[in-house]
């Protein structure tokens, strides 16, 4: 599955809506009804991003954020019906990465989620040379070698392979791969990834119908096989 997102909100219908929509977009979703329980869920699940309601019983979003930030740098997007500028400022000063006012469009929220995750990913070291199995990819030289033979890839095929090779064994959803190629995923276009994968396999696999490197994970997406082939 994709990135784990923790959704924290005391309204059951909001939790259900966001869980259904985010799951459909390829994310793994865990939920909590208040800040106190969210602290425990966050410690256990280690989410890649948190969608956090501000006004909740037991412990509100601001107090959760204050405590969570003492131990973690997880990206956080605040969800709230409040529109006062002071609330936004307090949340951002405590380390929130974005701020969405209710009511919101689920599709717009997903775009915000992907944007925040992209910004967070930019802080990670980006390896110029990726090597796995018999494939090597040099970002700087824009060169791919398979079993010591140069392979000519299109820009999209190159970026797709670079994304997959950045984490061998990790499953990427079509939405995540499309997001990597275009900066934002749009419904209806994710199947174009299948065509890119087909063309990529034709160039790097000795038997494209029985791929050694780019594996299909049915119902989820694709992954680059680790060196043990797991």
Q: Report all structural domains of the chain as residue ranges with CATH numbers, in order of start.
A: 4-121 (3.40.50.2300), 129-224 (1.10.10.10)
pLDDT in tens, 102-150: 888 888 888 888 888 877 664 445 578 899 889 999 988 889 999 999 9
- Output the pLDDT for position 104: 84
Token pair for 218 = 């049915």
Q: Within 10 A of 188 (CB to CB), how many other CB atoms are there?
A: 6
- Output the pLDDT for position 87: 62
Give the C-alpha separation, 4 to 8, whole Å. 13
pLDDT in tens, 76-98: 998 877 655 566 667 777 778 88
Within the chain, how many helices (H) and strands (E) appear? 8, 12
């Amino acid at each position: 599955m994709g990135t784990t997102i923790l959704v924290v909100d005391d309204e059951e219908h909001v939790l259900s809506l966001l869980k259904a929509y985010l799951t459909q977009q390829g994310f793994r979703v865990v939920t909590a009804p208040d800040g106190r329980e969210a602290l425990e869920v966050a410690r256990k699940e280690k989410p890649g991003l948190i969608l956090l309601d501000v006004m909740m019983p037991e412990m509100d979003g601001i107090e959760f954020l204050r405590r969570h930030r003492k131990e973690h740098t997880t990206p956080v997007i605040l969800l709230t019906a409040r529109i006062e500028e002071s609330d936004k400022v307090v949340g951002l000063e405590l380390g929130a990465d974005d701020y969405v006012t209710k009511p919101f469009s689920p599709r717009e929220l997903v775009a915000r989620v992907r944007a925040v995750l992209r910004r967070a990913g930019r802080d990670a070291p980006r390896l110029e040379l990726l090597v796995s199995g018999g494939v090597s990819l040099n970002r700087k030289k824009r060169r791919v070698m398979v079993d010591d033979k140069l392979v000519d890839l299109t820009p999209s095929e190159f970026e797709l392979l670079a994304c997959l090779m950045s984490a061998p064994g990790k499953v990427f959803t079509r939405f995540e791969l499309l997001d990597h190629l275009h900066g934002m995923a749009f419904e209806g276009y994710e199947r174009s990834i299948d065509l890119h994968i087909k063309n990529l396999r034709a160039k790097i696999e000795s038997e494209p119908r029985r791929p050694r490197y780019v594996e299909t994970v049915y119902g989820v997406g694709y992954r680059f096989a680790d060196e043990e082939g797991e």
